[in-house]
Chain A
C-alpha cells in the first residue's frame, strides 16, 4: 500500500533544473500556446458581440450581465491555471507569444509573463470577476456599461502581459477611454454629471446637454492625468528608442540597451509621471475623487484593484527592471514621492467628512507603499513591492468597495449621517474593517508581509522615507479608528433612513477580496503537505522567481 508521502513523491512537482522547461498552457498535455492572447482578446471579442447584439428595451440585460460575469470567471480560471502551472524555478518568460507586427519599426506582438506579471495578472483576473459581481445593481444602459467594463479589463490584461513597448503603450493608452466613459456615464445622478445650474455657464453645456461644466471638469481632470501618463509613457519609449539606435521596441532590445545615465534619468522621470498618474502618487492624484468616491461600485473596485496597480507594475518592470542607473539616481526622489503620498493620504482621510472620500484617500496608501519598495532597490524591498502590488490592489478594492456598498445601502456617505451601523449591517461593517486593516498592513492580511519586507528592505537605503511613511500609517490608523468609531460603533442616528445588511452578491464580492487577502497573508508561500507545496505554488515563490533577477544589479558585490 502506498503511503501519502510516496504519492506526493510521485507528483510532478517543479524541481530545479539546469535546462528549465518553459511552461505552456495545459502542461504540454493540451497544446494551447495562446493563453495570454486569450486573456487579452476574449473580453474584447465578447464586448464587440455584446455591443452589436440587438437588445430592444433592455430585454437582454440579464444575459449581458451574465455574459460579462462568465467571461471574467473564465479569465480567472485561465489565470489560475496559468498561475498553478507557472515554473517557479525558471527565470525567463513563460507562455510566450511572438509575432512580427510593424517590422519597419521593430515592433512585434510579443506577450509573455514572468513571476511578477503572472501575479499581477492573477490580481487583474480576480478583480475582474469581483467588479462584475459588484456591478449587479447597474440598471441603466446595462449593455454599454458591461462593454466598457470588459474593454477596461482587456486593456489592463494587455498592459500586464506586454513584452513589447508598443504593445504596452497601446493597451496603457487604450484603458483611458473606457474608464472615462464609465466615470462620466454612470457616476451618480445629480452631482456627477453637473446640476442644472452648470448648464448655461459653459459653452458646451448648451450644445451637449447632459454634459455640463461639472461633468466636463471631472472628465477633463481624469483625462488630463491619464492622458499625461500615456504621453509620458510614449515619450519614455521614444527616448529609449532613440538612445538604442532605433533597434526596435521589443523589451529584449529596448530595455536591454544601455542609454547612459542622463537618458536613463529622463526616462525615469517620464516613467514616474506615467506611473504616478495611475497609482496615483501625489500630486497626480486628484482624479481619484471621481473614480474611487463617485463612480459606480464596480468601476471603483476595478480601478482601485487593478487599473491603478499598473502604475506600480510599470515602475517595477521598466524603471527598476531596466534602467538601473536611472533608478539609483532617482531613488531618493521616488522615495520622497511615496512618503508624501502616504502622509497626504492619511491627513486627507483624517479631515474627510464623507466615507467614500475618506476611503478614496486611504486607497492611495498601498500605491505609496509599493513605490517606497521600488525606491529601496534591495532584493527584499523589491520583493515586497511586487507583493504589495497584489496585496495593495486587493486591500484598496476591498476598502473602496465596502465603503461604496455601505454608502449605497445607507443612502448617504456623509459621516454626519452615518452612525452606529455595525449593529444593523454587521457583515458590511466587518468587511469595511477588514479593508481598512488590510490597507494598514495588519498581520494575517497579504499586505502585512509586503509591508514588512518593504520596511526592512528599504530602511537601509531610504531611512527617512520609511520613517515618514510609518508616521503616515500611524495617522492613517487614527483616521480609520475615528471614522469606524463614528460610522460603525458610535450611537445610531435616529433620523437616518432604516438600512439592511449587504445582499448576497455584495457579501460574495467583498468576501472574495477579503478571502484572497487572508489566503496570501496567512500562506504567502502556499500551503504545504508534508513539506511539499500543495496545489498553490505560493505567490511569494512565484514572485521571487523573477525578483531575484530583477534585484541582481542592485546587489553590491561581496568584498
Chain B
C-alpha cells in the first residue's frame, strides 16, 4: 500500500505519453472540437496525482528512489505548479494545432524529472532528474523560438548542466560515495577536502546561474506563454531542490559555502529590486520580482539550518505557484488592453495582481509568509546583512508593483480606443477556473502555512540539517 506514494509518477508519465502522442503530428489525432478536452483531462490527472501524493506520500520508503518528507514536499509543490500552469492557460490562444500537444507533453516529462529530483537520494539519480527537467523545459521553450535563440537556449542549459555534472562527479570521486546520506556521514565532524569544496562550488555556480537567468528569460517577450511559465517552474524547482540537497549533504558540519551563497543572494535580491523598479512592462516586472525571490531562496540556503532551509523550500513552492501562471495571465491581459482589466476579466486581474504582489512580498500573500520565514532563519544564523538587503529589495518591489496594481484596477479602459483583435473572445472555462485557483492558492498560502511550512522544515530535516 505504501508504494502508492509513487502513483503520482505513474500518472504523470501516462499523461505525458498521451499528450506527446496526441495531435496532428502524433499517431492519435483528436478532432479539433475535442481538443479542449486534453488540458481538462491533464488538469484532472494532475489533481488526482496531487491528491494521491498528499494521501499516500506520508509513507517513508528508503532506497535510491526514496519517499521522505522532502520528496513529499517537492513532488506536491511540482504538481501544484504544473496544475496552475496548465489550468490557467487559454489553450485557444496557444498554437496547439501546429505543434500538437508536444509542449504540454514535454512539460509533463519535465515534471516527471522534477519528481525524480525530489525523490532521489543519490547524486547520479539527482543529476539525471535535473537533466530531464531542465532539458524538457528548455526544449519546450525552444519550440516557440527562432532557431538561433533555441540553439543559444540549449547551449546555455547544457553548459549549466555540465558544470553541475562536473561538480557532482568530483564530489563522488573524492568522497567515494554517491549517496547523499553516505556523503554526509563521510564528511561529518570535519571540514570537507578541497576537492569536495570545488565540486560543490561548481554545482552551486552552475545551478545558481541557471536559477538567476531563468527569471530574466521569464520576463522576455514570448509567443508561447504556457511554455515560459511552466518551463520557469521546472528549472527553478529542480535547480533549487538539487542545490538544497547537495549543499545540505556536503555542509551539515561545515557551512563553508555560506559566503558564496550570501553574495549570490544579495546580488540577486538587489538586481531584482532595482530591475523591478526600472521596468514598465508587466512581463519584465514578473521576471525581476522572481529574481528577487531566487535571491531569498539562496539566502535561505546560506543559513544551513533546518528552519532556514525549510523556509527556503517553502519559498520555492510559493515562487513557483506565483510565477507558474504569470506569463499566461500577462499575455492574455495585454491582448485585451491592461486598463480596465479588473472590470472586464476580474478573475484574471485578481490572479495577476495576487501573483505580482506575492512576488513582491506584500502581506498577506504567499511571498510575505515565505520571506518572513526565511528572514527568521537568517536571523537565527546571524545573516543580518543579507536580511537588510532583502528588506530593502522588498521596498523597491512594493513600489514597483503598486504601479502595476493601479494600472490594472484604477485606470479605466478608454472606450474610444479600439480593442485589439481577439480581445473580446470568450475565455475557456478551464482558464477562468485556473485563474481563480491561482489567486486562491497565492492568497490562501498563509492559511496553509501551518502544514506547508512544517512539511518543508521536515523536508530540510530529512537532509540531515539541524
Contact = CB atoms under 8 A, between A and B. Distances in A.
A211 B338 CA distance: 14
Contacts of A3: none
Contacts of B454: 103-104
B372 interface: yes
A224 B402 CA distance: 12
Interface residues of B, number: 44
Interface in B357-405: 357, 362-364, 368-369, 372-373, 375-376, 378-380, 382, 384, 387-388, 391-392, 394-395, 398-399, 402-403, 405
B437 interface: no
B453 interface: yes
A458 to B, nearest CB: 33
Please report whether the interface of chain B is mostly helix, strand, loop or mixed according to DSSP: helix
Given A211-B407, A224-B395, A234 B375 contact: yes
27 contacts: A52-B346, A100-B450, A102-B449, A104-B307, A104-B453, A104-B454, A104-B457, A170-B363, A171-B363, A173-B362, A176-B398, A181-B406, A181-B409, A208-B403, A211-B406, A219-B402, A219-B403, A220-B399, A231-B394, A235-B391, A238-B379, A238-B387, A239-B384, A241-B379, A242-B380, A246-B376, A246-B380
Contacts of B394: 227, 231
Contacts of A105: 307, 372-373, 376, 453
Contacts of A209: 411
A101 interface: yes
A144 interface: yes
A207 B280 CA distance: 6
A208 B407 contact: yes
Interface in A86-105: 100-105
Given A104-B310, A177-B398, A227-B394, A203 B406 contact: no
Nearest to B394: A231
Contacts of B380: 241-242, 246
B151 interface: no
A238 B280 contact: no
A223 B372 contact: no
Given A102-B453, A105-B307, A246-B307, A177 B402 contact: yes
A558 B437 CA distance: 64
Contacts of A104: 307, 310, 453-454, 457
Contact of B450 (A102, A169, A235): A102
A302 B372 CA distance: 28
Contacts of A101: 449-450
Nearest to B281: A207
A512 B282 CA distance: 45
A181 B405 contact: yes
A180 interface: yes
Please report whether the interface of chain A is mostly helix, strand, loop or mixed according to DSSP: helix
Contacts of B346: 52
A103 B450 contact: yes
B238 to A, nearest CB: 25
Given A141-B410, A211-B403, 17 more contacts: A104-B310, A104-B454, A141-B412, A169-B372, A181-B405, A211-B406, A216-B403, A223-B399, A223-B402, A224-B399, A231-B391, A231-B394, A231-B395, A234-B375, A235-B384, A235-B388, A238-B384
B376 A181 contact: no
Contact of B357 (A141, A177, A228, A238): A177
A43 to B, nearest CB: 14
A294 to B, nearest CB: 16
Contacts of B310: 104
A171 B392 CA distance: 19
Interface of A: 52, 100-105, 141, 144, 166, 169-171, 173-174, 176-177, 180-181, 184-185, 203-204, 207-211, 216, 219-220, 223-224, 227-228, 230-231, 234-235, 238-239, 241-242, 246, 249
Nearest to A180: B402
Given A231-B391, A246-B307, A185 B406 contact: yes
A451 B392 CA distance: 37
Contacts of A176: 398
A181 B410 contact: yes
A235 B387 contact: yes
A238 B375 contact: yes
A172 to B, nearest CB: 9
Scoring B278, B387, B388, B392 by chain A CB atoms within 10 A of each residue's CB, the highest score goes to B387
A135 to B, nearest CB: 16
A173 B399 contact: no
B376 A203 contact: no
A231 B392 contact: yes
A259 B382 CA distance: 15
A279 B333 CA distance: 39
